[in-house]
Structure 1
Amino acid sequence: MEPLTEHRPFNGPVVYGFLHLVKTAAGRDSALTAALTEYCRQHELLLGAVFTERTAPDQDERSAAFTGLLDVLALPDTYGVVLPAATHLGPRALATARRKRLAEAGTRVLLLRPPSRGRKSPDQGATGHQTRRRSPT
């Protein structure tokens, strides 16, 4: 008898994590990485890597971590990027530029924690394109 699908090894769609951790408490990096890993496990996604930005970039959205993320998002069979929250794209002006770059690349942005009410959703970037997001539940 064949095992159920849930019991077979499965390589789900590949996603990459991105964390913006400037001036954060020790242990936050590992806690957020664990949260991304658990989210991917629950949604049958394969977390390829997590890119962590530890220094505040200038107004330019091209930090080493974000540039690395864009590079892997261009690989075939990449499903998208997963973030703990939209704030991990950086401060407002920087996040707007980054959302635009991700939208131009046709990247799916998956959020563990959706934006709170009254705040502009990262799905509605400057380009007017809507990126897809999965619910964490």
Structure 2
Amino acid sequence: MEPLTEHRPVDSPVVYGFLRLSSASAARQAALRASLAEYCRTHELRLSGVFTDRHTTTDPASAAFTGLLDVLALPDVYGVLAPALSHLGPKPLAAERVRRIEAAGARLLPARRPRTACLSTSRRETGHGRPGSVRVLDAES
């Protein structure tokens, strides 16, 4: 009889982080990196590196993002982790970057989900749209 999966050494899925920090303090940068590492620890992911955009840009092909796309082409890369979707840039820029991440065959994992998405998801899945009642189904942060 074979041992259960939990008894076999299994590699954690590889992810790369992405931060957009144009004017963040060193303490804020360290805190965001630590939050990515903690997210990976609790979700059994392996954070292999973090790419950081340090300049405000509307160009989806910044140096940091281009580097991220390069590593997504490596074998066995699962996805991209960001503290929130806002780290990909303003909405039009973020939409283009999401498209490029998905085109590379990777998953985008926002550590903090938008609040409006949580409300609409919980109401849709539970079938209860009563005002003032919100049921939390997936609390990740």
Could you state the TM-score of these two structures normalised by the residue count of structure 2? 0.75
TM superposition shift of 1:52? 0.7
> What is the RMSD computed on CA atoms of the aligned residues?
2.6
Query: Is the contact made by 1:16 and 1:69 (CA closer than 8 Å) also made in structure 2?
Result: yes
| Structure 1 unmatched ranges of 5 or more | 120-133
Is residue 66 from structure 1 mapped to residue 65 from structure 2 by the alignment?
yes
Q: Distance in 2 between matches of 1:11 and 1:27?
A: 31
Which structure: larger Rg?
Answer: 2
User: What's the secondary structure of 2:47's corresponding residue?
Assistant: strand
- 1:107–1:135: structure 2 CA closer, same or farther, 3 Å change rule? farther
TM superposition shift of 1:135? 6.5
Q: Higher helix share goes to which structure?
A: 2
TM superposition shift of 1:118? 6.4
* Amino acid across the alignment from 1:30: A
Q: Distance in 1 between matches of 2:82 and 2:38?
A: 12
TM superposition shift of 1:136? 2.9
TM superposition shift of 1:14? 0.5
* Amino acid across the alignment from 1:63: S
| Structure 2 unmatched ranges of 5 or more | 1-5, 119-137
Identity between Structure 1 and Structure 2 (%): 54
TM superposition shift of 1:16? 0.2
Q: Please show how residues 31-50 of structure 1 align to structure 2 within 5 Å.
A: 31-50=31-50
* Amino acid across the alignment from 2:20: H
* Amino acid across the alignment from 2:59: D
- 1:60–1:11: structure 2 CA closer, same or farther, 3 Å change rule? same
Could you state the TM-score of these two structures normalised by the residue count of structure 1? 0.77
Q: How many corresponding residue pairs?
A: 119
| Residues 89-111 of structure 1: per-residue CA shift (max 9 Å, x gap) | 01122111111111222220111
TM superposition shift of 1:11? 3.2
